[in-house]
Amino acid sequence: MIPYTWLEEAAERIAPHIRATPLSYDPNNDLFLKWENHQVTGSFKARGALNKVLNLQPWEIERGLVAASAGNHGQGVALAAQLVGAQADIFASEDATPTKLEAMRALGATVHLVHGGYGEAEAAGIDYAAEHEAVWISPYNDGQVIAGQGTLGLELLQELANLPESTWVVPVGGGGLISGMGAALEAFFPADGTAIEADESSQPVRKPRLIGVQSTASPFMHALFTQGSQAGVVELDSLADGLSGPVEAQSLTIPLVHKFVNEIVLVEEAEIEHAIAYAWERYHERIEGSAAVALAAVLEQRISARPAVVVLTGGNIQPELHQALLDRSAHLE
């Protein structure tokens, strides 16, 4: 489990290096929208990477840092490596988003391209870290990374302290973010989920329901959550590239997701595409596919409960792809 003290320490540790991201409300859809696309590096992933690296010992930093990433975690690790003066080696698919690859390099990381998808990049990174006795920084299978991601949950709890009841909708890949947010909720509410008093003048506040979202193109955590195994899952190309790939065997996040998460739902690629265009047309916000799964789930009524708190995890989409999706959306109208 992730102790609450870890979340508190993470919040204090990373505070000088991250942003408190905007939270807006859409009254027409009864949605609270948390815009982590405004985070440093354009993604929530900086939270976990910074917390992990800033918590390392000097002798660990000297060994260098190794990670695998579709791009966002790698940027977070590269940024953290800059702060502590460490070498960062990031393994990524050769098919990763070019702007994400360039952003990692611009932050000083050495990027190793691997044939295949995220799963192959992760395996190569783990092997490289072991061979070179470097520090492996998983994007999800690490208690300090999960605690760093959980600071997003703490931020939302402060911002929505007087909201009587809600459903939190969170994109899921390896489960680091939703596990951290679940740990934050667990610390604030009684084990049975009964209401607590926010203050004397407000209504009682009930523990939010926590729902994860994945694409049907890469439903590994969904399979683990619903069937207890990811064996036999067939992965297809997805706009939600940051959520792709199998979950590491025996990952910490597997029992945490089972403990904290109420449900994991799936959305189709066409629905993710629509949500990307909708975010731009309605809110003038640029989001990537990995963030859009959460918005798609509420727009398409996969999740009908309101109010819903939708976590938009990042905005690092290839500009040409974003424009093409907008053009296609305009043509369909």
Domain spans, the chain: 4-44+143-332, 46-136
Instruction: Give the model's confidence band at 202: pLDDT under 50 very low, under 70 low, under 90 confident, else very high.
Output: low
Region for residue 167 given its phi and psi (left: phi exceeds 0; alpha: psi -120 to 50; beta: otherwise): beta
> Radius of gyration of the chain from Cα atoms?
19
Mean pLDDT of the residues in the chain: 95
pLDDT at 201 over 70: no
pLDDT of residue 148: 98
Please tell me the number of Cα atoms within 13 Å of 281 on its side-chain side. Answer: 14
Same fold, 4-44+143-332 and 46-136: yes
Q: Identify the three-state secondary structure at position 224.
A: helix
Average pLDDT over residues 62-78: 97
Instruction: Give the model's confidence band at 139: pLDDT under 50 very low, under 70 low, under 90 confident, else very high.
Output: very high
Average pLDDT over residues 244-253: 95
Average pLDDT over residues 195-217: 84
Q: What tokens appear for 193 in the block?
A: 């989920």
**Class of CATH domain 46-136:** alpha beta
Q: What gap in Å lies between CA 96 and CA 117, rounded to an integer?
A: 8
Helices (runs of H) and strands (runs of E) counted in the chain: 13, 12
Q: What gap in Å lies between CA 202 and CA 183, rounded to an integer?
A: 24
Q: What percent of the chain has pLDDT over 90?
A: 92
Q: Is the pTM of this model over 0.75?
A: yes
pLDDT of residue 333: 62
pLDDT of residue 191: 74
Q: Helical H runs in 160-251?
A: 176-188, 220-227
Which residue is listed with tokens 């320490």?
9
Got the DSSP string for 27-90? TTTTEEEEEGGGSGGGBTHHHHHHHHHHTS-HHHHHH-EEEE-SSHHHHHHHHHHHHHT--EEE
CATH number at 4-44+143-332? 3.40.50.1100
pLDDT in tens, 250-285: 999 999 999 999 999 999 999 999 999 999 999 999
314 neighbors 290 (Cβ within 8 angstroms): yes
pLDDT of residue 197: 67
